[in-house]
Structure formats: C-alpha cells, structure tokens
C-alpha cells in the first residue's frame, strides 16, 4: 500500500507505497509462482493474482493478535528469504507512532494525498468493492523512455476498532507488475500512541538484475520501505508539516545500518512448514 520509485540498472533504489512494492520490468520478466505447502487461502482473502505467498499472507492475517506490546518503539525490519523461491523479496516491518490510531488511519485512508506523501505517485483512484476498495494506481517511470506503471489492487478492510484495523491487498492487473501480497495493521497502544505493522512479498524474476544487481535491489527496496514508514510516522506526529518536509525528514532519518542488518541477515522462510506469524 505505498508508492514510489522503481529499480533500474542505473538506479537500483526504489520506494514502496502503502503495503506493496512496485516492480518495473525494465530488465527482465516478472512472473507469478504457484502456492506450495499451504492449505487453501481463507475465503475472505481478496480476489487477485495468486502467488506462492498469497496463502501465507491470508493465514497470517487470520493469526493477527487482538493486541500488541512492541518490544521497541523505533522501526524494526525483518527480511525474508523464501527457500522455495529465492527471487522473492519479503519484509516485515513495524514501528510505534506517537499519534492516535485514528490519526494514523486517516493518513492511510487519504488516497488523494498519496501523490504528496510518496514520491513518484501520479494518482491513486479508489472505488468500493464488497468489504473493501479497488485501488487504481499510476506511478512515474524511473526514465523518460519507459512507460509509467499502472496497476490495480483489491484491498479488503477489516475495521475492528477499538482493537485494530487491517488492510489485506492483492494485485489484480497491471501493465508492469504481478503478484504483490500484503497486509497492514494499525493497533491503538494508548490514547497517544499506535503501532504500525506491515508485511510485503514480491514474487518476481528479475531477469539480468537477479545476477548482477540483486543485492542492490534488496538494499534499495528495504531502505525505501523504511522511508515510507517514517513518512507515515512523521506525517501523523507533525500534522502542521508540509508534505515535502515530511518526505525530506523521513529520508534523512533512515538508519542505513538497520537496513544493512535486515538485508544481510535475512530469515529463512520455508513455505512447506506454514511459518507462524511473528511481530517484526
């Protein structure tokens, strides 16, 4: 559910948008993969392109706790290496935000301003579907000779406040993308704090990038994830700030050591064992 800049050979970094990452097929082919080892996805999962991680995200959404007690307030990142699909990039991330859950949710629901909060987003249009929204996105290409990326996702929304609010998204169609499986959850902690928790998986074959620049894709993608999370945090905590100030401040506050630790110490994920959900 975030938006941003896409990877190319000359610019491996790319930003994410709220809950899913945008993939540009500038240097290779992107494909989905079939599910492996997991039972059928829950019936309440959103319709869309099924990938190896669709069932996992569906089961993790069902396992979300009724409340959380984060062990730390700062941003936490956990990167996943899927044993059966080594080209899949996965990350769980969470942080405490010093603002009410209602304030954080209002930012996540404000699709009209995604183009201001997240770089390179041209627009996001939404329309209702049963129990959720269909989101239509356009993002700027990283080079003028490449087409803009357009894609549609179905997002099921579970408003279970005062306990939590959950968004569960899956890709429907795109001119460039395929197979994003995501959930986002916001939990009230107390009257002045909330917890933001997200998990993203990208099913992709990166073409030539997988052999010459995969480490750069990992590093750039995880750093962009951190920037997007911090942008949400700083927007919620400082509503008087301009969007440009929020974006700039988020970039400056990213801890690159945290990013490197996530990328260099990825957690092995075995889909045949139905991995349990863990907080980041």
Token pair listed for 202: 């990208």
- Residues of the chain short of pLDDT 50, as ranges, are 2-41
Mean pLDDT over each residue of the chain, to the nearest integer: 83
pLDDT of residue 203: 66
- Per-residue HEC secondary structure of the chain comes to CECCCCCCCCCCCCCCECCECCCCCCCCCCCCCCCCCCCCCCCCCCCCCCCCCHHHHHHHHHHCCCCCCCCCCCCEEEEEEECCCCCCEEEEEEEEECCCHHHHHHHHCCHHHHHHHCCCEEEEEEEEECCEEEEEEEECCCCCCCCCEEEEEEEEEEECCCCCEEEEEEEEEECCCCCEEEEEEEEEEECCEEEEEEEEEECCCCCCHHHHCHHHHHHHHHHHHHHHHHHHHHHHHCCCCCHHHHHHHHHHCCCHHHHHHHHHCCEEECHHHCCCCCCC
Token pair listed for 113: 């301003």
pLDDT of residue 204: 52
The maximal CA–CA distance of the chain, rounded, in angstroms, is: 49
Token pair listed for 197: 């928790």
Phi-psi bin for 19: left (phi > 0), alpha (psi -120 to 50), beta?
left
Report the percent of the chain where pLDDT is more than 70.
80
Per-residue model confidence as pLDDT tens digits over 90-141: 999 999 999 999 999 999 999 999 999 988 789 999 999 999 999 999 988 7
pLDDT of residue 6: 36
pLDDT of residue 3: 37
Which residue ranges make up each domain of the chain? 54-268
Topology of domain 54-268, per CATH? Alpha-D-Glucose-1,6-Bisphosphate; Chain A, domain 4 (3.30.530)
């Amino acid at each position: 559910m975030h938006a941003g800049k896409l990877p190319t050979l000359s610019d491996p970094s790319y930003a994410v948008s709220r809950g899913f990452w945008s993939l540009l097929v500038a240097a290779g082919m992107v494909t989905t993969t079939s599910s492996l080892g997991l039972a059928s996805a829950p019936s309440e999962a959103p319709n869309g392109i099924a990938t190896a991680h669709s069932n996992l995200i569906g089961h993790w959404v069902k396992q979300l706790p009724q409340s959380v007690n984060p062990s730390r307030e700062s941003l936490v990142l956990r990167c996943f290496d899927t044993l059966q699909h080594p080209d899949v990039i996965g990350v769980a991330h969470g942080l405490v935000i010093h603002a009410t859950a209602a304030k954080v949710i209002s930012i996540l629901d404000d699709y009209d301003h995604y183009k201001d909060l997240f770089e390179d987003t041209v627009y996001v249009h939404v329309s209702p579907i049963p129990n959720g929204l269909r989101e239509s996105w356009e993002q700027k290409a990283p080079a003028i000779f490449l087409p803009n990326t357009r894609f549609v996702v179905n997002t099921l929304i579970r408003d279970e406040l005062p306990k939590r609010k959950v968004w569960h998204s899956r890709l429907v169609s795109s001119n460039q993308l395929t197979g994003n499986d995501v959930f986002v959850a916001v939990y009230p902690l107390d009257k002045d704090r909330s917890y933001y928790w997200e998990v993203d998986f990208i099913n992709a074959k990166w073409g030539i990038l997988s052999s010459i620049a995969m480490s750069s894709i990992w590093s750039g993608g995880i750093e962009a994830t951190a920037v997007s999370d911090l942008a949400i945090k700083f927007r919620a905590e400082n509503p008087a700030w301009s969007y440009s100030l929020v974006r700039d401040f988020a970039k400056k506050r990213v801890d690159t050591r945290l990013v490197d630790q996530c990328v260099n110490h990825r957690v092995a994920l075995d889909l045949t064992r139905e991995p349990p959900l863990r907080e980041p």
